[in-house]
Amino acid sequence: MTDLDVRARVAAELERTRRRSVTLTDAVDDDDLVRQHSPLMSPLVWDLAHVGNQEELWLVRDVGGREPVRQDIDHLYDAFKHPRKDRPQLPLLGPAEARAYTRTVRDKVLDLLDRVELEGRPLVEQGFAFGMIVQHEQQHDETMLATHQLRAGPPVLAAAPPPRPAAAVDGEALIPAGPFTMGTSAEPWALDNERPAHTVDLPAYLIDRAPVTNRQFQEFVDAGGYEDPRWWSPEGWEHRQRAGLAGPMHWHGDGTYTRFGRREPLVPDEPVVHVCWYEAEAYAAWAGKRLPTEAEWEKAARFDPATGRSRRYPWGDEDPAEHHANLGQRHLSPAPVGAYPGGASPAGVHQLIGDVWEWTSSDFHGYPGFAPFPYREYSEVFFGPEYKVLRGGSFGTDKAACRGTFRNWDYPIRRQIFAGFRCARTAPSELASSGPRSEA
Ligand code: AVJ
Ligand code: FE
């Protein structure tokens, strides 16, 4: 991309992203903005000023070398200084101040974008720091959408329903044994944890062609899955007992659930959402399967057997369009299985991108050759066994913060995020040796 293209793209992405933040925060009154809807979440007004503060720190001060706008508030919006549950008690900017602050910062950034030299510093090469800030705000927009889902009271958000299924999708796809390229060294706005590209060799495996649906998950519930420790890991069972889990979050146990303030019957063909990693693990065991590893998920999503290379997305290298995937809060729910035939991978695996984040069995670690960039606190401080990796993005994720290599992570007990899963299993030997093979 030329410099001019990078600048135009950055400006468009910043604008598109801010419109979403404004929609999510203008949807409720001031009282609602400063209130904490769940101890798991910040007040919405905190997210709003926090995205402005990160934009100030990275773009106005670091990239631009300009004077601080509000250095005095940095500590209030440092996510490492104050846990979410304590944020409502802080002397935060009020709704009007937070809005004015984010606008002031944005005006400075747009001014800077016209003048800044985009070459010679890794931080701004191909607009990286701007892309990082776009993705940061988009990630908080998804977090704000999760806050909306937790908020009590009448509905304030609306969107068109997702598309209907256009194809019947069931069963599993066989991914033959062999190496593939995982991660990326090429994607200009990829974050540090997606880098570098490296080869991973996997044995043959089967992966579900679609995420697990409400109908399938209901069968697990009806079969007494939540009462049978056989399906749960010891930690999972302990958590199930302690937290009193009996079904996905927001289900009422009578075939209805609440989404963004509306109580409705569950849609059987929709991917199940709001399950924690332990629930996903238990379902998979009950189904005689397991969760895919992160590498299995990515190979199913990116590997093209015809060329032997890894694609940016399951459908190819083009940026996500509306017919590829349910992304970007265009619809406020996952789409039923079969609704996105245009987004299938070469192996015929559907809806890997969008709809629901998919839990994998993998802990969050750096790839071989990982280098923190531009700061350790983005990813590296979270590496270790406490966090599980999620892949693929949800209906609440923007396309700027979602691709075949994008990695999300959370604690295995979390279910306020838009997370579901699909299952996998190691291919039985008679399948593993038949079919197309990619010889390394
Ligand atoms: C990658 C979604 C786990 O929300 O904690 C936001 C993204 N990092 N601000 C998070 C993030 C800093 C992060 N996740
Ligand atoms: Fe943040």
Nearest-atom index, ligand 1, CA of 410: 3
Nearest-atom index, ligand 1, CA of 407: 1
What is the C-alpha separation between 229 and 421, in angstroms, rounded?
Answer: 20
Question: Annotation-wise, does 290 bind a ligand?
Answer: no
Candidates 398, 394, 393, 368; CA nearest to 383 is: 368
Question: Annotation-wise, does 414 bind a ligand?
Answer: yes
Please name which ligand lies nearest the alpha carbon of 53. 2
Question: For the packed helices 3-26 and 128-150, what is the interaxial angle rounded to 10 degrees?
Answer: 20
Got the DSSP string for 157-168? ---PPPPPP-S-
pLDDT attached to residue 435: 52
Say if residues 361 and 295 touch (Cβ distance below 8 Å).
Answer: no
Å from CA of 433 to ligand 2 middle: 46
SS3 316: strand
Please name which ligand lies nearest the alpha carbon of 48. 2
Å from CA of 189 to ligand 1 middle: 16
- Where do the domains of the chain lie? 3-150, 172-430
Question: Annotation-wise, does 410 bind a ligand?
Answer: yes
Say if residues 231 and 214 touch (Cβ distance below 8 Å).
Answer: no
pLDDT attached to residue 122: 93
Residue for token digits 């659930």? 257
Q: Could you tell me how many residues make up the chain? A: 440
* Token pair of 398 as six digits: 């923007």
> Which DSSP helix (H) or strand (E) runs through 217?
helix 214-222
Residues facing 354 on adjacent strands: 326
Is 0.95 exceeded by the ipTM? Answer: yes
Question: Annotation-wise, does 87 bind a ligand?
Answer: yes
pLDDT attached to residue 433: 74
Å from CA of 201 to ligand 1 middle: 29
Per-residue pLDDT of 265-274, as tens digits, reads 999 999 999 9
pLDDT attached to residue 440: 38
Å from CA of 50 to ligand 2 middle: 7
pLDDT attached to residue 167: 86
pLDDT attached to residue 439: 40
CATH topology of domain 172-430: paralog of FGE (formylglycine-generating enzyme) (3.90.1580)
Å from CA of 117 to ligand 2 middle: 26
Kindly report the protein residue whose alpha carbon is nearest to atom 9 of ligand 1: 136
Question: Annotation-wise, does 50 bind a ligand?
Answer: yes
Å from CA of 135 to ligand 1 middle: 10
Kindly report the protein residue whose alpha carbon is nearest to atom 1 of ligand 1: 408
Please name which ligand lies nearest the alpha carbon of 191. 1
pLDDT attached to residue 44: 98
In 203-324 the beta strands, taken as DSSP E runs, fall at: 205-208, 256-259, 262-265, 303-304, 309-310
Between the two ends of the chain, the Cα-to-Cα distance in Å is 33
Instruction: Give φ, ψ of 266 to 5 degrees.
Output: -60, 140
Mutate to test the pocket of ligand 1, among 80, 84, 139, 388 (most ligand atoms within 8 A of CB): 139
Per-residue pLDDT of 27-42, as tens digits, reads 999 999 999 999 999 9
Per-residue pLDDT of 211-235, as tens digits, reads 999 999 999 999 999 999 999 999 9
Output b/e per residue, 161-182; b: 16+ Cβ within 10 A. ebeebeeebeebbbbbbbebbb
Count other C-beta atoms under 10 Å from residue 201's C-beta. Answer: 10
What is the C-alpha separation between 359 and 294, in angstroms, rounded?
Answer: 9
Nearest-atom index, ligand 1, CA of 382: 3
Candidates 371, 436, 360, 49; CA nearest to 192 is: 371
Count other C-beta atoms under 10 Å from residue 113's C-beta. Answer: 20
Residues in the chain predicted with pLDDT less than 70, given as ranges, are 434-440
* Token pair of 139 as six digits: 């990630």
Question: Annotation-wise, does 302 bind a ligand?
Answer: no
Å from CA of 79 to ligand 1 middle: 10
Nearest-atom index, ligand 1, CA of 143: 4
Which residues line ligand 1 at a C-beta cut-off of 6 Å? 136, 139-140, 143, 408-409
> Measured on CA atoms in the order 51, 57, 58, 61, is the torsion positive or negative?
positive
Kindly report the protein residue whose alpha carbon is nearest to atom 8 of ligand 1: 378
Nearest-atom index, ligand 1, CA of 50: 9
Kindly report the protein residue whose alpha carbon is nearest to atom 7 of ligand 1: 139
Question: Annotation-wise, does 86 bind a ligand?
Answer: yes
Say if residues 39 and 84 touch (Cβ distance below 8 Å).
Answer: yes
Please name which ligand lies nearest the alpha carbon of 375. 1
pLDDT attached to residue 434: 55
Å from CA of 119 to ligand 2 middle: 26
Å from CA of 268 to ligand 2 middle: 35
For 415, which DSSP code?
Answer: -
Check whether domain 3-150 has CATH 1.10.10, yes or no: no
Please name which ligand lies nearest the alpha carbon of 135. 1
